Amino acid sequence: MLSRAQLRLLGIALITLGASHVSTGVSAGLVIAGLVFAFAGTFGQFPPTNGSEVRWAAATSLVMLLGLVGPPIGTYPSSIAGIRPSLIVVGGLACVVAFGLGHRHTGRLVAVALVLGVSVITTGALMAQEWDSGVGTDIYHAHRAAGEALTGGQNPYTDVVRFEDGNPYQEGRVFEGYPYPPVVLGTYGLAGSITDPRLISSAAWLFFLGWLGWRAVRRRSGEAWDSSFAVLLVLGLSPLNSLVWFMGWTEPLTLALFAVAAILWERYPKTSGVFLGLALASKQYLVFLAPMLLLHRDRGWRPRSMMAAGVAGLTIFVGLAPDPPAYLRSTIGNLADIAFRPDTQSLPGLVDSLGLQLNLPNIVWILIGLGVTTLLARSSSTTSGFMIRAGLGLGAAFVLGMAFPNYWFLVAGLLAIGTVLEPVDAGVMHPGRSETVDSSQGRRQETRIAGV
């Protein structure tokens, strides 16, 4: 029987594979299937682990890589088409080594080095060929325009920032005002004033993969769980990573901030709250995770949540204060004005590909998303539980509305962080346990299985 960790790994793989597929129907079907597996791997009645997660991840990743051999899977930018065969070969070798020798420390070192090498080579090739090239993506130009506004002493949230919408169904439409919150403005926008803003994506993504690799190689031989190694294989070899970098999407930064918050979670709740607040304030749609701050309970939850809420509110205020109408128009109005897109990687997109129509009003799927996240948050009591439920809650909202590759990139990343930390929360050799959780409402007994 498959374990819960294996089901969630399969879910992560399907989500990232679907998000990089060029066919809307296939793409939406894969991400929906991945979300179902992720839910089953969290709440299903399956064993927490069966000790073969690394082999499962290696086999799953090899299938993803083989899908890159021919179209339409793997929407790689044309700039790295020449090295694509090398990526497949090196990544495939990493899977083979992990499958056969992942239980040995030397084999793990070799496989981790190969996976990280693939990521460094891919990012390096993109940076070398596309660096500051004036690429025609809308988000890239938005970052550069915001950087110019900053250096000129102007407010980027006003009409001094103008860029053409990349929506193929609304050609010629022009956005006014920088569409991202101040956390992104202070990183991508600031970087865009002096160099290619995607430098932030490179640093954030390599940091995240480096953290996974470090955890994987430091694991002692014989431990029942090796989720860091398994997650590194699935995420590090995903065809989605290059597309996210190329487009200038900002989810790598958000994911890195969540990872830092998770690293500091138990020992330094307040410091963790700072990074959690920055992560939550980096994307408008992360308002769906507000119930997590209110309802999650574990040691240090109160100072962490209060700090996160304060930091998020402060960063938003910085952008809002100079010109509230302009800020709201650029960060919310621009998004609200986007009409339905048939290429959305969600249930409406899947239905549309079948010749039917399912276009829920925004208020409906937003309320459903908040409701699902609230239900999930009520049972969250560990670091891994928070991250996994955050990913599932976002996925539940996205699957009913409009979602695109960068949205699912973050969902997969949050599920990955939770999967990596799950053994720590549950106890490496004792994945099921019962413990007492202290909350402001009193003390309550709660049974946890696999830290979820």
Most confident by average pLDDT, 92-96, 274-278, 351-355? 274-278
Lowest average pLDDT, out of 77-91, 384-398, 418-432, goes to 418-432
At residue 282, the pLDDT reads 97
Q: Nearest-CA neighbor of 373 among 285, 444, 262, 274?
A: 285
pLDDT of res. 90 = 86
Rounded distance between C-alpha atoms, residue 276 and residue 252, angstroms: 14
pLDDT higher than threshold 50 for residue 409: yes
Which of 31, 17, 14 is closest to 350 using CA atoms? 31
C-alpha torsion sign, points 240, 241, 243, 247 = positive
In 247-323 the beta strands, taken as DSSP E runs, fall at: none
Region 33-39 average pLDDT: 96
CB 434 within 8 A of CB 27: no
Lowest-pLDDT range of 127-141, 238-252, 319-333: 127-141
pLDDT tens per residue across span 234-286:
998 888 888 898 889 999 999 999 999 999 999 999 999 999 999 999 999 99
Question: How many whole angstroms separate alpha carbon 73 and alpha carbon 424?
Answer: 35
Rounded to the nearest integer, the mean pLDDT of the chain is: 85
**pLDDT of amino acid 21:** 83
pLDDT score for 81: 65
Lowest mean pLDDT among 30-44, 125-139, 241-255: 125-139
At 447 the pLDDT is 31
Two tokens, residue 2: 């498959």
* Residues shown for the chain: 452
What's the pLDDT score for residue 452?
37
pLDDT (mean) for 403-421: 94
User: Could you read off the pLDDT of 423-444 as tens digits, one per residue?
Assistant: 666 554 333 333 333 333 333 3
Least confident of 88-97, 256-265, 352-361, 437-446: 437-446
Which pLDDT belongs to residue 449?
A: 30
Q: So what's the pLDDT on residue 53?
A: 85
Confidence tier at 120 by pLDDT (50, 70, 90): confident
Least confident of 146-155, 208-217, 309-318: 208-217
* The predicted structure's pLDDT at residue 80: 63
Q: Determine the Cα–Cα distance for residues 346 and 362; give it in Å rounded to an integer.
A: 14
pLDDT above 60 (res 448) = no
**Amino acid of residue 423:** P
Task: Report how far residue 346's alpha carbon sits from residue 396's, in angstroms, rounded to the nearest whole number.
Answer: 10
Report long-range pairs for 133-141 (Cβ below 8 Å, ≥24 apart): 135/246, 135/248, 137/166, 137/246, 137/247, 137/248, 138/163, 138/164, 138/165, 138/166, 138/175, 139/166, 139/247, 139/248, 139/249, 139/250, 140/197, 140/198, 140/247, 140/248
187 — pLDDT class (breaks 50, 70, 90): very high
Q: What is the mean pLDDT of residues 127-146?
A: 80
Distances (CA, A) of 29 to 17, 87, 163, 183: 11, 26, 32, 33
pLDDT of residue 437: 35
pLDDT given for residue 70 in this prediction = 58
Distance CA 308, CA 323 (A): 24
* Alpha-carbon separation of residue 146 from 179, 350, 444 (angstroms): 10, 35, 49
DSSP code of residue 79: G
Q: What's the pTM?
A: 0.91
State how far the alpha carbon of 2 is from the alpha carbons of 18, 38, 285, 415, in Å. Answer: 22, 13, 33, 18
- Candidates 7, 2, 34, 4; CA nearest to 18 is 34
Q: What is the mean pLDDT of residues 90-99?
A: 88
Taking 70 as the threshold, does the pLDDT of residue 446 lie above it?
no
Give per-residue burial for 299-318: e unless 16+ CB within 10 Å, then b. Answer: eebeebbebbbebbeebbeb
What is the distance between the alpha carbons of residues 176 and 321, in angstroms, rounded to a whole number? 18
Q: Does residue 163 contact residue 175 with C-beta atoms inside 8 Å?
A: yes
Residue 160's pLDDT is 94
Q: What is the DSSP string of 358-398?
A: ----HHHHHHHHHHHHHHHHTT--SHHHHHHHHHHHHHHHH
Residue owning tokens 């294996």: 6
